[in-house]
Amino acid sequence: MDAAAERLTQLLSHGLVPAVPVPHRADGSFDAEAQERYAAWMATQPIAGVAAWAHTGRGLHLEPEIAARVLASWRKALPKDKLVIAGAGARPRSRAGRPGARLTPPADPLGLTDFVIKGTVEMAADAKKLGADAILAFPPTLLRDLGDRERRIVEVHKALGDVGLPVIAFFLYQSAGGISYNERVLDRVLALPQVAGIKVATLNSVIAFQEIAPRVPEGKLLISGEDRFLAYSLMMGARTALVGLGAARTSLSASLLAAFVAADFHEFRRLSVLVDRLGAVTFREPMEGYIRRMLWVLALDGVIPFDAAYDPWGPSVPTSELDEVQAVVGGMAVG
C-alpha cells in the first residue's frame, strides 16, 4: 500500500463519512444557498469527512458546473482535518460544440473500456483540482456485460492510480447501479497499492457482506456502506462507515461508531435500535427514494428548507411517507 493510501486508512479508521445528497428544488434546479447551509451544518458534526459526488450525491448525473460548485462548497466549509472524498466514474459527456448532446459509449469492448477509463480518470482529476483528498471509484457498470469484465474492472481501478489520490473501491448492489465483484476481482483490486480499502453496500445481503469481509487484506479498510445493518457490519469488521444514513441526524451514526470503538456495548445496543429505526423508514422501497427521504430529515431538522428537499433523479415518493419519517425522527433527540 502506498503512503497516501496508508495515511487515508489512518484518518478514516473508526470514523463516519456521510455520503451527502445535493439539495434541489421541485423544478430540478440546484439550490446553492441550501447547499451552503448544509455544508456549514455538517462542518459542526463529529465526522471524519464527507463523500460528495457519490451515489447519494448523484455524482454521475450532476452537470460538471454544478458538480464543481458542490465539491468546492464542501472543501470550503469543512476544516482541513476533515476529508473530502469524491466519487469518480464514467459520467455522461457532451459532444464538443453541441451542448446537451451526449457522447454514445462505443459498442466494442476495447472502445468501451477506454471510454470508461477516460471518463473515470477525468472525473477523478477534476475532483483533485477542486481539493478532494481521495476517490471513491464507482463500479464501472458499462462493462458489466462484457465476457472479460474482470480484467477490465481491474484496469479501471489501476488507471486511477495515475491521478495521485488514494482510492476506495466500491462494491454496490446491482439495482443501484453496481456490479457483483467476484473473489478474483476483489483480490486483484484490493492488491493495488493506491487502493486503501473497499466500501461494501449490499443493501440487505448479510451473507455477501460476510463473504467479502475476510478478503480485505490486513491494513486496508473494510468500509461499511450498510445503511440497513450498520451495527452488525461493525461487528463483522468494518472500521469505517461511509453511508447515506449519516447524511442527516449525523451524530446518531457517529455515536454508534464511537460506542463500538469504546466497547460500550450497552450504549451500542441502545443506539443500534435507533439507527435501525431511522434506516427502516428511510431506506425502503422504492429504494432510490432514500435520497429524498434523507433530505426530508434535514428539512425536518431545519438544516435546509423543505423546498430544497428534492431529488430530480429519484422516483416519486408518496408524501404520506413524510409523516412516517417525521414520526420516527420526532421521537429522537436532535443531533
Whether 133 shows a pLDDT value over 50: the answer reads: yes
Split at pLDDT 50, 70, 90, the class of 187 is: very high
- Quote the CA–CA distance of 200 and 211 in Å, as a whole number: 11
- Domain covering 3-249: architecture: Alpha-Beta Barrel (3.20)
Q: In whole angstroms, what is the distance from residue 317 CA to residue 89 CA?
A: 27
- Does residue 318 have a cis peptide bond before it, meaning omega lies within 30 degrees of 0? no
pLDDT, tens digit, 9 for 90 and up, residues 162-176? 999 999 999 988 777
In the predicted model, is pLDDT for residue 333 greater than 80?
no
Q: What confidence tier does 241 reach under pLDDT thresholds 50, 70, 90? A: very high
pLDDT > 90 in the chain, percent: 87
| Each residue's pLDDT tens digit, 105-115 | 777 788 899 99
Cell of 264: 460500550
CB 18 within 8 A of CB 250: yes
pLDDT at 101: 46
Residue from 194, 211, 219 nearest 9 by CA: 219
Model pLDDT, residue 173: 82
Nearest to residue 134, comparing CAs of 66, 200, 62, 74?
A: 74
Give the integer Cα–Cα distance in Å for 132 and 58: 17
Question: Got the DSSP string for 240-278?
Answer: EEEEGGGGSSHHHHHHHHHHHHTT-HHHHHHHHHHHHHH
**Per residue in 244-257, pLDDT tens?**
999 999 999 999 99
